[in-house]
Structure 1
Amino acid sequence: MILKKRIGTGFFLLLFSFCLLNYYTVTDVNAANLPDFRELAKKSGDAVVNISTEKTVKDQKRNMPPNMFRGMPNGDLFEEFFNSPFGPNGGSQGEEDGRRSRRSGSLGSGFIISSDGFIVTNNHVVEGADVINVNLSSDTNKNKSYKAKLVGADPETDLALIKIEVKDSLPFLKFGDSDKLEVGEWVIAIGNPFGLDHSVTAGIISAKGRDIQAGAFDSFLQTDASINPGNSGGPLLNMDGEVIGINTAIVAQGQGIGFAIPSNMANKIIDELKNHKKVSRGWIGVQIQPIDEKMAKALGLQNDQGALLGGVMPKEPADKAGLMAGDVVVGVDNKDITSADDLLQEIANKKPGNKVELKVIRNGETKNFVVTLAERNLDKDGAKVYEEGSTPDNQDDFNLGIQLRSLNKDDMRRLRITDIEGGLLITAVEPDKEADKAGIKPGDVILTAALKPVLNTNDFVKIINGVGKERGAVMLQMMRRGQKFFVTLDLSGKK
């Protein structure tokens, strides 16, 4: 009995020792596989800067009604105060428009890209600033502050280039190749979150090519390295110490979801800002939108690849080259175009004045057009991508859920329509019916159905009952607040 107990105890101790040894061995192996960020943070941190800005903003004017104190005790004194430079009607001294001026500031990050003081940051960090302060932290410039000047900015990608004047050479960072990044790679972010100087956070690349609806050229890197307010403009670094992204945006409701502008996009833009102080992009003067399966069916296409021209602006490059609303662009200079974003970015990457060849499908036929690019102008809003409405459910032909009538001269004058002969005005849309689910709204104007003009309701009904039934879908060209776009009504299964 005693011998059995000793054997049992010995076996238990042996098993315990084996498990303990195995635990520490596995732990040591796992620890050995984890990256060490100490040298990377030390080497790169000196080239990261803190940015603070100052600007003058005006409060909204708050005028009090005239003579509102008349008849009240000491009313004259109240009236005098409210109209004085310090009162709501008067604003601060020197403010002729009656609005108070106050100083406002913001915090952000940036990083040095050349030894002579060029610094990259986000446009939203320095936009509208009267004063841009840059604080360094390198050993030779510890806690030194410099006034920076704005070299150039690109609001569409939220990038800016600033410059400080220094006597000594500064440490700087180099751009890496963001196209070579793979999801799961380790990265670190260095910045100034919430004013906490030179904070370092680590994580991985969570995804690439994210579109977060921040602008026309969204293709962000997503990372779970902690990004917070104040990190904006700071670098996202790979394990070689190269900048592979510029930290720009976060999901306010989430944790571990940050976004950075890829270095390959940023590098080109920064070079252009450095050399020309602005970014010039090609433009053809169209409104484009994606194609889905219903739209492809309505157009008689074999698939949903390409970019649909929802509208062509009169007297602009595309119009001059002969392009029309309803054309589907499937190629630019022998490069395939599979989406609306492809077309937008391919044209924008080319210079104004360049000639490009567009491969287009029109009424089932392939055509080629040579277009001379103009310069992209945000005020014209010609390249905005219009999304189609929700997917409609099947309904019968006579239950589309819209009331319409022909446009008259008063409608055209009120809606400021000058470039079309006529159309159908949507006067009412029934909730949860086909038109409503396709995104059609009262006040919209139907210009064409199946790419054919509709000047009266008879034209519309004939197309619905003809081409619409034959293809199982009909595409309507609409106008809303001066912008043209397409929606598709699904007629499959209609009687």
Structure 2
Amino acid sequence: MTHTLPSFRRKLVAAVLVVVSPTLALAQAPAAPKPPAPQTQQAASGQAGNLQPATREAQSLASLAPLVESVKSAVVNVDVQARPEVPEGMEDNPLFDKFFGGGNGRGRGRSEREQIRQGAGSGFIIDPKGLVLTNNHVIEDAVTITIRLDDGRSFTGEVVGRDPLTDVAVVKVKEKVDQLPTVKLGDSDAVRVGDWVLAIGNPFGLASSVSVGILSARAREIGASVYDDFLQTDAAINPGNSGGPLFNMKGEVVGINTAIVGGGTGIGFSVPSNLIKALLPQLEKEGSVTRGWLGVGIQPLNRDLAQALKLPVSEGAILTQINPGSPAAKAGLKADDVVVAVDGKQVRSDSELTRTVALKKPNSVTTLSLYRDGKKQDVKVTMGTRPDLEGLTKKKPEAADEQDSSRRVGVSLQDLDARTASQAGFTERAGALITDIIPGSPADRAQLAPGMLVVEANRKPIASAKELAAAIRAAPKGSTLLLRVAGPGGGRLLRALTVP
């Protein structure tokens, strides 16, 4: 069956396992492609003259056992006790049964759902003193964290830093250790589509499980955040693999296994190691990630637009809006400028520009290569700081009535204040700012996301979180709210939110 993009996105499942009573028959992994079987010397020599070089290279992979033995001791199980929030009306949702436990949990009350749940994911050690990399969604809302090694040892873990926007987290062993096995972060840009890759993790609580496949694609955008840049692989990744390593054939980690497409399709996604290496110093030192910010609205350049703008290139990012007072405005950037490179690195799309700018340090000077009125020029920009929308949620808790309404559809809200509007580049000065979305909730299925600003509900203006909460509360069960949402830098979209 061919799925549309919204349907495809809804099937993306964070590959984290909640241990209740694993039932393997309900989640069979697709058969992982096996490396070619070793040949006898006679057979190999008899056929060598008829084989292409690439085929001979593949047939030389007699066994991956030496590689597995050299790295698996550094792969760990991450056991978590967490206290999740489940939105009202989601008690019978099978996705929540899968991730929050419950088997046949029909008819259970919300108080039971709010009890501590037991979850498990994977991770890997990058420092002999016990520094572990994993996914943010594995350790999010954790009350306790236990790190279990392949040799049976267990340690208490604590969060050092996390970045929800890329789903990366750093955990350290609290006990004093100095000789733990480690693995090295490799160069994810060097791995080619078609190269062999190896995944090790704890799917369904089955420790140290190994699967093999190839790199299927690069730079995949799956709707997880504006910074999506995933590696795609067909190596079997299942619930419980989240946070585990994806290795190249040198035994280097080229990605953190993060998400899968449901239905046993054999499609998994990993955060590239080069992105992890860029974030790691901040996560270790600051506990969070501060990103560069331009303050512009953007869209991709295509051939038709390139022809209309009389450009000699057809790849890049068009600046559609320059926010007043932003770093872009101060640098003299203009609407319809087309950015084609940042500090000499080619930019092929709007999403690539977003990711590249985000990795720049605030207050650093960056050179943008762009076309203006058909002529190429370089412009120096002093980077600003991207606002921390997630942090604002903690500073301004929702009122009780807003919590009840937002839990019903799985969204957290707050008012838009002048400071946030200015930092985030909103042209609006009022609305309900989305600060969090519960995976699998009605809000998630409506493709709402943190950082969006709801300005209308059923064609009526929304000036605050309280007003949107009231609209959700008043909506009949099973009805659909037509929401108009704005993003930083301008541009509006419609979203259809079904109220359970």
User: Normalised by the shorter chain, which TM-score bucket?
Assistant: 0.5 to 0.7
2:379 to 369, 373, 387: 369
Match of 1:228 in 2: 238
Match of 2:43 in 1: 25
**Cα contact 2:230–2:272 (8 A) shared by 1:** yes
SS of the aligned residue for 1:343 comes to helix
Q: Which amino acid aligns with 2:248?
A: N
Match of 1:272 in 2: 282
Comparing both chains, which one has the higher relative contact order based on Cα–Cα distances under 8 Å and sequence gaps of 6 or more? 2
Q: 1:111 to 1:27 in 2, by over 3 A?
A: farther
Q: Which amino acid aligns with 2:265?
A: Q
Rounded Cα–Cα distance in structure 2 between residues aligned with 1:315 and 1:485: 18
Rounded Cα–Cα distance in structure 2 between residues aligned with 1:55 and 1:260: 24
Match of 2:12 in 1: none
- Give the TM-score, by structure 1 length: 0.61
Q: Which amino acid aligns with 1:25?
A: A
Superposition RMSD in Å:
3.6
Q: 1:364 to 1:182 in 2, by over 3 A?
A: closer
Rounded Cα–Cα distance in structure 2 between residues aligned with 1:379 and 1:28: 64
Match of 1:149 in 2: 158
**Cα contact 1:184–1:206 (8 A) shared by 2:** yes
Displacement after TM superposition at 1:484 (Å): 2.3
Match of 1:36 in 2: 63
1:322-341 alignment runs, 5 A limit: 322-341=332-351
Displacement after TM superposition at 1:344 (Å): 1.8
Match of 2:150 in 1: 137
Render the CA deviation track for 1:295-334: whole Å, top value 9, x for unaligned: 2344343442321112222222112223233322233334
Q: 1:240 to 1:364 in 2, by over 3 A?
A: closer
Match of 2:81 in 1: 54
1:481 to 444, 466, 486: 486
Displacement after TM superposition at 1:161 (Å): 0.5
Q: Which amino acid aligns with 1:337?
A: V
Q: Which moved more, 1:331-340 or 1:317-326?
A: 331-340
Q: Which amino acid aligns with 2:170?
A: L
Determine if the alignment matches structure 1 residue 115 to structure 2 residue 128: yes
The size of the alignment, in residue pairs, is 341
SS of the aligned residue for 1:267 comes to helix
SS of the aligned residue for 1:107 comes to strand
Rounded Cα–Cα distance in structure 1 between residues aligned with 2:314 and 2:492: 14
Displacement after TM superposition at 1:234 (Å): 0.7
The structure 1 segments of at least 4 consecutive aligned residues displaced by more than 4 Å after TM superposition are 21-24, 26-32, 58-62, 365-368, 415-419
Q: 1:224 to 1:319 in 2, by over 3 A?
A: same
Match of 2:437 in 1: none
Q: Which has the larger radius of gyration?
A: 1
**Cα contact 1:311–1:485 (8 A) shared by 2:** no
Match of 2:203 in 1: 193
Rounded Cα–Cα distance in structure 1 between residues aligned with 2:177 and 2:339: 53
1:323-402 alignment runs, 5 A limit: 323-366=333-376, 368-377=378-387, 379=389
Rounded Cα–Cα distance in structure 2 between residues aligned with 1:100 and 1:187: 38
**Cα contact 1:53–1:129 (8 A) shared by 2:** yes
Q: Which amino acid aligns with 1:258?
A: G
Match of 1:172 in 2: 182
Rounded Cα–Cα distance in structure 1 between residues aligned with 2:276 and 2:195: 20
Q: How many percent of aligned residue pairs carry the same amino acid? A: 43
SS of the aligned residue for 2:269 comes to strand
**Cα contact 1:160–1:270 (8 A) shared by 2:** no
Q: 1:156 to 1:61 in 2, by over 3 A?
A: closer
1:294 to 301, 304, 329: 304
